[in-house]
Amino acid sequence: ADVIEELEQTLATPTPLLRGIADAMVEEMERGLRADPHAPLKMLISYVDNLPTGDEHGLFYALDLGGTNFRVLRVQLGGKEKRAVQQYEEVPIPPHLMVGTSTELFDFIAAELERFVETEGDDFHLPEGRHRELGFTFSFPVHQTSISSGTLVKWTKGFCINGTVGEDVVAELSSAMERQGLDMKVTALVNDTVGTLAGGIYADNDVVAAVILGTGTNAAYVEHVDAIPKWKGPLPRSGNMV
């Protein structure tokens, strides 16, 4: 018992220390929101100013590219009454494509996406006259310029592909889908934390943040726009920004 008590005391985190850590983190977050060039937390603007409510209806696709595998998913949303029906597949990326050209990589992804679309079953219904919409989770450093565009800053995680750095990754994917003859539009480019936050809040409206603990650590939360000094442009109607 004495040993356990001593261990508890050694590992204890007193409340004043926790409050000090929280205060220091808030200070670093505020520096990032001001665009302080030396801020360790970058506080990246996602351009997502509205999150799901659970009332959404329709057929949507998602592509998650962030490592040696990518995932494709489709989901039929039926509002709060029917909730979601979903299917997904995980596809390994051949090693030679991780060091090849941008065209080769995105053509491979578009071909796999088309193959997945062709397996659409009776549980999934696209309204007549509507394009298939795709959310693109791209977990590499990106300078985002709108909800559906962003330029690649650099490749990480073993990728070293010529011709993509400085280019809009949504445009690269869209061109590949066009070459494939796939009638689909990328409507959102998001980081994996933003996708996790959207999925969490769809299921539970009390969710306030999402955290990724993986190769790296990242988080997303909703901030009031008037607390983001570096925000330029019209204020979103919601008054919020992820």
| 130 classed as catalytic | no
| 192 classed as catalytic | yes
Selecting among 46, 102, 139, 174, the annotated active-site residue is 139
Residue 166: Cβ within 10 Å count: 10
| 71 classed as catalytic | yes
Residues 196-215 as b/e (b if ≥16 CB within 10 A, e otherwise) read: bbbbbbbeeeebeebebeee
Selecting among 49, 71, 83, 175, the annotated active-site residue is 71
- DSSP string computed for 43-100: -----------S--EEEEEEEEESSSEEEEEEEEEEHHHH-EEEEEEEEEPPGGGGGS
Question: CB within 8 A of 170, min separation 6: which ones?
Answer: 136, 148, 149, 150, 186, 189
- DSSP string computed for 115-172: HHHTT--TT--PPTTPPEEEEEEE-S-EEEEETTEEEE----TT---BT-BTSBHHHH
User: Known catalytic residues?
Assistant: 71, 139, 192
